Structures are given as C-alpha cells and as structure tokens.
Amino acid sequence: MDKTIAELKEAFAAPKPFYDDKHFPRGFSRSGHFTLLESELLQQHGHLLRRLHKQETKPSNPLQQQFFDTFTQHTPPKNRIEKIWAKYLDLTTRKHKVHTLSVQNHIHRTQNHIEQQEVEPSLD
C-alpha cells in the first residue's frame, strides 16, 4: 500500500538536508536523473535514508522499519521514498557504460588492415 507524500515526509523527517557532491555536484535537480519531486524528497530526507541504509540508526516508526527491511532483505521498493532511494543507489553504485560516436578507432584499424595486406614478405 502506497502512502501519501505527506505521510512519507512526516515519517522520514531528517535533521538536516542531504547533498552528494561527489556524484551530483550540481545538485539532484540539475542532474537530469531525478524529477523535481524526487530531488526535493531526496534532499530533504536523504540524510536519514542514508543512515538507515547503512544501519547507523535504528528505525523509529513502521515506515522506517519497512524501508530498513526492504533494503536489508533486498525486496522490491514499495513506496515513493523507497523507490527514490533505490534509484539513487542504482545511479551511485552501478557502473555506467559510456557510448560515443567516435569512429577514429575503426578507421585506424581499417588502415592498418589495408597496409598489412599490401606488404608482401620477401624470401631474399
């Protein structure tokens, strides 16, 4: 059962805002990965979510306990806060593939292949 945003905000009230300058130096909202609501929730509640995830603090209400259980038992996220934290973890822990449109390597290999075909061994 999905809780409302107001209920989640109340259940995950954090003492200070959360920033991750290492992975998102321009902020969550400017990263292009989070919606405005997601970035707001992450910034407002991420400090507590990180502490719960790293088991640095104990859950103090049923929603925090559910969050804790979700990430310790590796079950699918059920509410918006859990989904945002799972998305954050995915973006910060998974290795990303970078695709480029460069063709220089292909051209270089093709030229080397042509040069190798033109060279004939001599038996002198």
Q: What is the pLDDT of residues 51-79, one digit of tens each?
A: 999 999 999 999 999 999 999 999 999 99
Q: What is the pTM of this model?
A: 0.70
d(CA 35, CA 38): 5
Give yes or no for a contact between 8 and 80, defined as CB atoms under 8 angstroms apart: yes
% of the chain beyond a pLDDT of 90:
56
CA 117-119-124 angle, 5° bins: 140
d(CA 93, CA 115): 44
Domain ranges of the chain: 5-93
d(CA 53, CA 14): 14
Distance of CA 36 to the CA centre of its chain: 16
